[in-house]
Amino acid sequence: MAIRPICPSAQQCANRDVRIKLLENEVARLQGLDAIRDDVANLLQEEIAELTRKLRAVGEATKGDQFRRAKIVISKALHPNNFEGDAVQQRMRGDIFREVWPQIEGIERGQT
């Protein structure tokens, strides 16, 4: 039995070597693109996380602002110093204010 050479001709060996080199270069190029894709994906994940944090902060600020404005309205409506009227109404509003205001402050502190 005859031994077959790896490359039957010099031209085929050269072509094979060129093809191998081209494929190796393509693999290296694709690996570089994959690394770039990973970097872009990480940057986008960080941006999503930052935007999510900002969105939550805006939501919390809006809730806090609404609560603050509600406190002002309640204070203006019920605090005895902010109401001019007869003594009975002033006393009644004062009683309601003294009952409600500690609860509002407790909610603000996160107790209820």
Check residues 90 and 12 and name the one with the higher pLDDT: 90
Statement: residue 40 has pLDDT above 90:
yes
C-beta atoms surrounding 101 within 10 Å: 15
**Full-model pTM:** 0.44
Supply the pLDDT for residue 37. 95
Supply the pLDDT for residue 111. 64
Rg (CA), the chain: 38
Are the C-beta atoms of 77 and 91 separated by less than 8 Å? no
Across all residues in the chain, what is the average pLDDT? 82
Alpha helices in 79-112 (DSSP H): 87-109
Q: Using CA atoms, how far apart are residues 58 and 96, in angstroms rounded to an integer? A: 33
pLDDT tens profile 68-111: 888 888 888 887 777 777 788 888 888 888 888 888 888 888 76
Check residues 27 and 15 and name the one with the higher pLDDT: 27
How is the chain split into domains, by residue range?
11-60
